[in-house]
């Protein structure tokens, strides 16, 4: 039997003691349910006064939209969420483009778990206060990194519909809960932004903590993890080395986090890993070396060999972006290529020393990706995740949820074109 991600998500999000496992398809974890689950879950997810919650979220009263491109500095030509030229190999930012010079964020500015987006905000390709929009996200990915239009739109839609931005205002926090600035109706919404757990952010990320092991801080840079990644890869952050590190982080989280969950959305972790060697290296050699990666991550090596955060997630000087656009099929190939080197089960810890796997979802069979999925199949799985995920702020309202899915499809279908032919969830 096949299950939609909606059924998985709504069931999984209803549990507290083991919040992302107990009601998964094929899992019998009824002993672990908690009658106070809904109130506790909302507290855990929205954060309150916890890190990433609305009470601790930075606020900059001087919100200014991203400057965008100009005739003098056109970059890839992406503007207002439109498709750019798809031709890279140029320096970003242009040394004379003062609008996109690096400015370190202040304590009033929001930053989150994604170094690539943090760097984009620090250079003004996204709003510098960290409150961005669908159009800014689609444009910045193309103009900075030469991300293909299909992938740029997919990731922007994922941001709005899975991390609890607002599909009506099309606003999103790239970090903490800024519902009072992103939502059309803040009083009845909860929009955790990119910090929201098990949405865009997930357990076993490259350099961020698991949500339940570090007092809900799943977005700040962890120098120990960056050091582990650098040691494992020997400071060459290529596919093979990052695949090994991804496997190590999976095993570490599985062992240390009793609430560890590795669901279909965790495929995005492999996609994020691929950005280090596909999007971040600079031409002409495009080597994912320490100097480049540490600049994007804002990492500084200390005299004792440890690493700390320098608040300077920055595009390296004289950085030249990739020549060809990085498409949805490209990231699908890289996701599978990393995964197949060290296959792991999709599912989660049950709290009694056991692990329950997801039996069947898209290209996931018996807890693993099928042996040889095509790039199109992996791409369609990402499309399936995007269009079947309902924002948690709308989980109790049926009609707006359908509208959210319709909005997602309206953005995705023109961007993907006829080559994918993925089944539509709105039939």
Which tens digits make up the pLDDT trace of 263-294? 888 888 999 999 999 999 999 999 999 999 99
Q: Give pLDDT, residue 138.
A: 98
Tell which wins on pLDDT, 86 or 416.
86
- Binned at pLDDT 50, 70 and 90, residue 131 comes out as very high
How many C-beta atoms lie closer than 10 Å to residue 413's C-beta?
17
Query: What is the pLDDT, as a whole number, of residue 6?
Result: 31
**Which among 242, 213, 266 has a CA at the least distance from the CA of 337?**
242
For residues 133 and 389, which has the higher predicted lDDT (pLDDT)? 133
C-alpha to C-alpha distance for 126 and 117, rounded to whole angstroms: 8
Q: Strand pairing of 347-349 and 364-365?
A: unpaired
pLDDT digits (tens, 9 = 90+) for 192-213: 899 887 777 789 999 999 998 8
Class of domain 5-416: mainly alpha
**What is the arrangement of strands in the sheet containing 347-349, beginning at the earlier edge strand?**
261-262, 347-349, 355-357
Is 90 exceeded by the pLDDT of residue 390?
Answer: no
- Residue 50, classified by CB atoms within 10 Å of its CB into exposed (0-12), middle (13-18) or buried (19+), is buried
pLDDT of 419 reads 59
Rounded distance between C-alpha atoms, residue 293 and residue 149, angstroms: 24
Report the greatest alpha carbon distance in the chain: 63
CA–CA distance, 222 with 346 (Å, rounded to integer): 25
Strand-pairing partners, residue 261, are: 348
Surface-to-core class of residue 285, CB atoms within 10 Å of its CB (0-12 exposed, 13-18 middle, 19+ buried): exposed
Q: What is the pLDDT of residue 185?
A: 85
Question: CA-CA-CA-CA torsion for 119, 124, 130, 136, nearest 10 degrees?
Answer: -100
More confident residue, 151 or 380: 151
With cut-offs at 50, 70 and 90, classify the pLDDT of residue 348: very high
3-state secondary structure 31-88: HHCCCCHHHHHHHHHHCCCCCCCCCCCCCCCCCCCCCCCCCCCCCCCCCCCCCCCCCC
pLDDT for 4 equals 33
Rounded Cα distance between 329 and 133, Å, is: 25
Give residue 391's pLDDT: 44
Whether pLDDT at 394 is above 70: no
pLDDT, tens digit (0-9, with 9 covering 90-100), for 47-76: 567 788 999 999 999 999 999 999 999 999
Range in 217-226, 331-340, 362-371 with the lowest mean pLDDT: 362-371
What is the tens place of the pLDDT at every residue in 228-263?
999 999 999 999 999 999 999 999 999 999 999 998
Q: pLDDT tier at 19 (50, 70, 90 boundaries)?
A: very low
DSSP helix/strand/coil, 259: coil
Of 43, 12, 41, 220, nearest to 114 (Cα)?
220
Distance CA 180, CA 54 (A): 9
pLDDT recorded at residue 48: 64
Q: Return d(Cα 116, Cα 151) in angstroms, integer.
A: 15
Q: What is the pLDDT of residues 72-92, one digit of tens each?
A: 999 999 999 999 999 999 999
d(CA 314, CA 250): 28
Reference 174, options 147, 143, 195, 197; nearest CA is 195
Separation of alpha carbons 313 and 292, rounded Å: 11
| pLDDT above 70 coverage of the chain, percent | 80
Q: Is the predicted pLDDT of residue 393 greater than 50, yes or no? A: no
Nearest-angstrom CA–CA distance, 125 and 136: 7
Q: In whole angstroms, how large is the CA radius of gyration of the chain?
A: 20
Of 190, 88, 160, residue with least CA distance to 412: 160
Close Cβ partners of 407 (under 8 Å, ≥ 6 residues apart): 161, 167
133 sits in which H/E element: strand 131-133
pLDDT of amino acid 140: 98
Say whether pLDDT at 32 is over 90.
Answer: no
CB 8 within 8 A of CB 25: yes
**Domain locations in the chain?**
5-416
């Amino acid at each position: 039997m096949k299950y939609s991600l909606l059924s998985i998500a709504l069931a999984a999000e209803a549990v507290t003691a083991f919040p992302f496992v107990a009601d998964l398809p094929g899992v019998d974890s009824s002993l672990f349910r908690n009658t106070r689950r809904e109130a506790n879950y909302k507290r855990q997810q929205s954060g309150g006064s916890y890190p990433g919650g609305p009470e601790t979220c930075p606020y900059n009263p001087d919100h200014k939209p991203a400057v965008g491109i100009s005739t003098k500095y056109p970059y890839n030509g992406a503007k207002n969420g439109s498709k750019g030229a798809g031709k890279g190999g140029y320096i970003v930012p242009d040394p004379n483009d003062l609008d996109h010079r690096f400015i370190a964020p202040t304590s009033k500015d929001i930053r989150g778990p994604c170094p690539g987006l943090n760097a984009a905000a620090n250079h003004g390709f996204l709003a510098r206060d960290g409150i961005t929009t669908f159009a800014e996200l689609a444009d910045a990915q193309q103009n900075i990194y030469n991300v293909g239009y299909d992938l740029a739109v997919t990731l922007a839609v994922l941001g709005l519909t899975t991390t609890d931005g607002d599909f009506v205002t099309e606003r999103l926090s790239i970090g903490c809960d800024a519902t009072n600035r992103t939502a059309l109706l803040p009083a009845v919404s909860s929009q955790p932004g990119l910090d929201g757990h098990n949405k865009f952010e997930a357990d076993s990320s490259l350099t961020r903590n698991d949500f339940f092991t570090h007092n809900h801080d799943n977005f700040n840079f962890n120098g120990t993890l960056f050091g582990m990644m650098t040691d494992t890869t020997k400071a060459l952050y290529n596919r093979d080395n990052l695949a090994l590190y991804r496997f190590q982080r999976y095993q570490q989280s599985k062992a240390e986090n009793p609430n560890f969950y590795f669901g279909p959305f965790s495929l995005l972790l492999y996609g994020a890993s691929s950005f280090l060697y596909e999007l971040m290296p600079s031409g002409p050699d495009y080597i994912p070396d320490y100097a480049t990666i540490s600049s994007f991550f804002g990492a500084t090596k200390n005299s004792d060999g440890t690493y700390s955060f320098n608040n300077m997630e920055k595009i390296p000087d004289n950085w030249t972006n990739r020549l060809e656009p990085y498409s949805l099929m490209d990231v699908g190939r890289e996701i599978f290529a990393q995964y197949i080197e060290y296959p792991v089960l999709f599912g989660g810890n049950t709290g009694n020393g056991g692990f329950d796997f997801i039996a069947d979802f898209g290209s996931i069979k018996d807890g693993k990706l099928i042996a040889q999925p095509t790039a199109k199949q992996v791409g369609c799985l990402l499309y399936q995740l995007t269009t079947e995920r309902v924002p948690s702020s709308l989980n109790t309202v049926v009609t707006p949820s359908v509208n959210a899915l319709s909005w997602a499809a309206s953005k995705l279908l023109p961007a993907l074109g006829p080559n994918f032919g993925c089944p539509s969830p709105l039939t």
